[in-house]
Amino acid sequence: MKILDVLQEDAVLVDLKSQDKKGVIEELALPVARAVGKKHEELVRVLMEREGLGSTGIGGGIGIPHGKIRDIKSLVIGFGLSRKGIDFESIDGRLTHIFFLLITPENARGLHLKVLARITKILKNEPLKERLLNVVDKGEVLSIIREEDEAF
């Protein structure tokens, strides 16, 4: 699966304003909630419940908040960049700058895990991560991800 197939252009935020974990999740969830036709509060609740099981801050400046929602048709991804970085309770204790928010249908376990693995894999590419950290606008994010999708 290509990331651009499920990344919502309206959910690409290159200048997150939030200063804490819940704020970032609320900010990222807003356009994703619109894309899946669900209430913003429902997405935030599901994502925060998942965070309660253990942080989705995977280290290296990356956070992948994710959750499953009933009655949605397909997987949706949002992207966010915090230029200052925030404490996302990452496993390495470092600030988190790059976020991919992932919402999947409740019954799509295999797809959910495949997309999480795909995002994690591409973000191990340090030059790609550096490029994402230095984007100026949404178009640049989409271009970088398009290049990575084509190389996959």
Domains of the chain listed by start with CATH number: 3-151 (3.40.930.10)
Q: Residue range 35-47: average pLDDT? A: 96
Q: Residue range 122-131: average pLDDT? A: 92
Q: Which long-range contacts (C-beta less than 8 Å, at least 24 apart) are formed by 89-93?
A: 89/21, 89/51, 89/55, 89/57, 90/55, 90/57, 90/58, 90/59, 90/61, 90/62, 90/63, 91/55, 91/57, 91/58, 91/59, 92/59, 92/60
Q: What is the pLDDT of residue 112?
A: 80
Q: Is the predicted pLDDT of residue 151 greater than 90, yes or no? A: no
pLDDT confidence band for 1 (50 / 70 / 90): confident
pTM of the model: 0.95
Interval 52-76: pLDDT, tens: 999 999 999 999 999 999 999 899 9
Q: Is the predicted pLDDT of residue 78 greater than 90, yes or no? A: yes
Query: Which has more confidence, 12 or 117?
Result: 12
Interval 2-40: pLDDT, tens: 899 999 999 999 999 999 999 999 999 999 999 999 999
Q: What is the DSSP string of 62-131?
A: EE--EEEETT-SS-EEEEEEEEEEE----TT---EEEEEEEEEETT-HHHHHHHHHHHHHHTT-HHHHHH
What is the distance of C-alpha 118 from the center of its chain?
Answer: 12
Using the 8-state DSSP alphabet, how is residue 56 labeled?
A: -
Q: Is the predicted pLDDT of residue 80 greater than 90, yes or no? A: yes
Q: What is the pLDDT of residue 68?
A: 93
Catalytic residues: 66
Q: How far apart are the first and last CA of the chain?
A: 9
Work out the burial of residue 90: count CB atoms within 10 Å of its CB; fewer than 13 is exposed, 13-18 middle, 19 or more buried: buried
Q: What is the pLDDT of residue 146?
A: 93
